[in-house]
């Protein structure tokens, strides 16, 4: 197109129309940014864990009465509840965000659940491995201090199943024993690195991958 024609077209757009077009573009960009942030929030929420003894997937959602009794019974205060922003399906159901506060595996939530959405667990070392499957811990070696020769060991010391779910190597490098890890998240809570070098992947995401 001829440059003079382009300039004539641009000059023909009135200031008022430019303002309207600019406002529409700004609104579109704002809506796009809001959608991206909402998607990121949902992605982060997806890494939250169900309390110990939870039924799987849809079965849990169908059984949960949204009564909040599990949260009231939790002595560690680690159980939170989804709001409406997570969608009607998840709203008011319990979750644990390990970076904020991991689960101490006391079993009080399962004992308080009136519907069986959370089953009682065996709190012995052997019983926890058999009855709890909140997720599995994974170490990011590129971020972990111990894998770079800076002895840490915070996650190992926080693990309630030391030498069973987690062992340590040179410089206290964390060696997760996947078969025995129950996903309580205490290691993630204890991690000194920001962002955390060890994270618990929810059982539901492990099965989907």
CA–CA dist 152, 198 (Å, integer): 12
Residue 36's pLDDT is 42
Is position 107 within any domain? yes
- Write down the H helix ranges in 49-124: 57-63, 69-73, 108-112
Is position 28 within any domain? no
- pLDDT greater than 90 at residue 172: yes
Is position 155 within any domain? yes
Query: Percent of the chain scored above 70 by pLDDT?
Result: 77
Query: Percent of the chain scored above 90 by pLDDT?
Result: 74
3-class SS letters over 40-54: HHHHHHCCCECCCCE
Average pLDDT over residues 151-176: 97
Is position 3 within any domain? no
Running DSSP on this structure, what letter comes out for residue 203? H
Is position 177 within any domain? yes
Is position 144 within any domain? yes
Is position 63 within any domain? yes
Residue 47's pLDDT is 77
More confident residue, 88 or 19: 88
pLDDT band at 208 (very low <50, low <70, confident <90, very high): low
The pTM assigned to this predicted structure is 0.76
Is position 129 within any domain? yes
Model pLDDT for residues 107-160, shown as the tens digit of each residue:
999 999 999 999 999 999 999 999 999 999 999 999 999 999 999 999 999 999
Residue 204's pLDDT is 83
Provide the domain limits for residue 101: 48-208
Q: Which of 68, 72, 69 is nearest to 82 (CA)?
A: 68
- pLDDT greater than 70 at residue 22: no
Q: Which of 49, 82, 84 is nearest to 204 (CA)?
A: 49
Average pLDDT over residues 91-113: 97
CA–CA dist 203, 49 (Å, integer): 8
Residue 206's pLDDT is 78
* Domain count for the chain: 1
Model pLDDT for residues 47-80, shown as the tens digit of each residue:
799 999 999 999 999 999 999 999 999 999 999 9
């Amino acid at each position: 197109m001829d440059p003079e024609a382009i300039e004539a077209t641009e000059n023909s757009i009135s200031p008022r129309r430019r303002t309207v077009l600019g406002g529409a573009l700004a609104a579109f960009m704002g809506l796009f940014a809001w959608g991206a942030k909402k998607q990121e929030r949902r992605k982060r929420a997806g890494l939250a864990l169900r309390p110990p003894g939870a039924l799987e997937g849809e079965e849990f959602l169908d059984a949960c009465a949204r009564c909040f009794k599990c949260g009231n019974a939790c002595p560690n205060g680690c159980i939170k509840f989804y709001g409406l922003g997570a969608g009607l399906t998840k709203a008011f159901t319990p979750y644990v965000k390990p970076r904020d506060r991991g689960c101490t595996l006391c079993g009080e939530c399962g004992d308080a659940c009136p519907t069986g959405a959370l089953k009682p667990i065996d709190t012995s070392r052997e019983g926890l491995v058999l009855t709890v499957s909140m997720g599995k811990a994974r170490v990011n070696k590129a971020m972990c201090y111990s894998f770079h020769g800076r002895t840490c060991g915070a996650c190992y010391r926080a693990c309630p199943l030391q030498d069973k779910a987690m062992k340590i190597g040179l410089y206290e490098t964390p060696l997760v024993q996947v078969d025995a890890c129950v996903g309580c998240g205490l290691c993630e809570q204890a991690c000194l690195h920001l962002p955390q070098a060890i994270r618990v992947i929810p059982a539901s995401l492990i099965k989907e991958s």
